[in-house]
């Protein structure tokens, strides 16, 4: 589950950072089984939760230590308190979560949900603006959310990998005032392609372009002096081959290099997912440091 995987990476370093010695002995089996029964999990659920972050169960000598790291299970009371904290009705909460392709069922602990909602509240407008811009390319909210969640997985697996996106975002600005693709020198074109290829590699995605259904390379596309006749389309896939989204490029965007602006919006989507992962890590670290000291 993406949300579970995203939330605990930093826990791998908590014992060291807080000078807690690992006992290398798992909590007593009978106490652990009772705890798991209380939260409605199997032992495999727990191991899966921890294994995403390479945290051995043996690092916890007592169930209380484990509880302090895991958090407080969600119940009707603390859920209502969370809604009150953020001034949300239940419908507004569901709409907010859905805007990021998320839902309550992805969470077991209120602290994790609180961290996520806090992030979503602050980024909801920015996400909406990004999705609106991407919508001009025929990219739906569902597709944008799917890409957002995929990028969160990429960041979780390789923390700080997407930090380079901010640098690429700045480099894009060199091309935003270009009104005619023919103004690009060969060097400009090579620079643009290098930025795009680097971004694609950081995202761990593959992008295919087509003109009237026929494949076309990125360099050939950017080298065209006039918009291609017919339909220019593209698809973005994960490295494993999962289709993340399809898009179309209207001729007016191609002619003015408006595609560059919207390419920047994809960078913004990557920045949001990067910020989300960093936020969740920081909050989980604060929780563990507070409870285990």
Q: 136 or 113: which carries more pLDDT confidence?
A: 113
Of the listed ranges 3-12, 35-44, 227-236, 262-271, the least confidently predicted one is 3-12
In this prediction, residue 179 carries a pLDDT of 59
* Most confident stretch, 62-66, 85-89, 149-153: 85-89
In this prediction, residue 42 carries a pLDDT of 95
Percent of the chain exceeding pLDDT 90 equals 27
Give 46-53 contacts, CB < 8 A, sequence gap 24+: 48/4, 49/4, 49/8, 50/8, 52/4, 52/5, 52/8, 52/156, 53/5, 53/8, 53/9, 53/11, 53/12
The per-residue pLDDT for range 16-60, each reduced to its tens digit, is 223 334 444 689 999 999 999 999 999 999 988 776 556 778 888
Rounded-to-integer distance, Cα 236 and Cα 241, Å = 9
pLDDT at residue 128 above 90? no
Rounded-to-integer distance, Cα 29 and Cα 32, Å = 5
Confidence of residue 227 (pLDDT cuts 50, 70, 90): confident
Q: 162 or 95: which carries more pLDDT confidence?
A: 95
The per-residue pLDDT for range 176-214, each reduced to its tens digit, is 666 565 567 788 878 888 887 887 888 888 988 898 889
DSSP state of 205: E
Rounded-to-integer distance, Cα 232 and Cα 245, Å = 15
pLDDT at residue 116 above 80? yes
In this prediction, residue 258 carries a pLDDT of 46
Rounded-to-integer distance, Cα 271 and Cα 264, Å = 10
In this prediction, residue 21 carries a pLDDT of 40
180 phi-psi bin (left φ>0, alpha ψ -120 to 50, beta other): beta
In this prediction, residue 11 carries a pLDDT of 28
Rounded-to-integer distance, Cα 41 and Cα 49, Å = 10
pLDDT at residue 15 above 50? no
pLDDT at residue 108 above 60? yes
Q: 89 or 265: which carries more pLDDT confidence?
A: 89
Of the listed ranges 75-89, 157-171, 188-202, 254-268, the least confidently predicted one is 254-268
pLDDT at residue 1 above 70? no
* Most confident stretch, 81-95, 251-265, 274-288: 81-95
DSSP state of 9: G
């Amino acid at each position: 589950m993406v949300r579970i995987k995203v939330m605990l990476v930093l826990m791998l370093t908590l014992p060291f950072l807080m000078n807690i010695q690992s006992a290398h002995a798992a909590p007593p089996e009978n106490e652990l089984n009772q705890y798991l029964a209380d939260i409605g999990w199997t032992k495999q659920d727990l191991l899966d939760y921890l294994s995403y972050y390479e945290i051995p169960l043996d690092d916890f000598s007592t169930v209380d230590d484990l509880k302090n790291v895991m958090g407080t299970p969600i119940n009707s009371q603390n859920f209502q308190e969370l809604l009150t904290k953020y001034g949300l009705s239940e419908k507004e909460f569901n709409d907010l979560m859905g805007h990021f392709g998320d839902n309550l069922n992805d969470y077991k602990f209120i602290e994790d949900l609180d961290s996520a909602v806090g992030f979503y509240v602050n980024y909801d407008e920015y996400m909406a603006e990004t999705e609106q811009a991407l919508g001009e390319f025929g990219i739906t909210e569902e597709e944008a959310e799917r890409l957002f969640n995929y990028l969160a997985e990429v960041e979780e697996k390789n923390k700080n990998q997407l930090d380079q996106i901010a640098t690429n975002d700045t480099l894009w600005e060199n091309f935003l005032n270009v009104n005619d693709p023919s103004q690009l020198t060969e060097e400009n074109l090579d620079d643009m392609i290098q930025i795009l290829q680097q971004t694609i590699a950081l995202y761990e995605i593959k992008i295919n372009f087509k003109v009237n259904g026929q494949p076309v390379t990125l360099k050939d596309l950017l080298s065209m002096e006039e918009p291609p006749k017919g339909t220019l389309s593209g698809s973005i896939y994960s490295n494993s081959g999962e289709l993340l989204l399809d898009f179309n490029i209207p001729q007016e965007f191609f002619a003015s290099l408006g595609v560059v602006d919207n390419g920047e919006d994809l960078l913004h989507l990557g920045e949001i997912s990067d910020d989300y992962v960093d936020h969740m890590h920081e909050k989980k670290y604060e929780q563990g440091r507070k409870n285990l000291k």
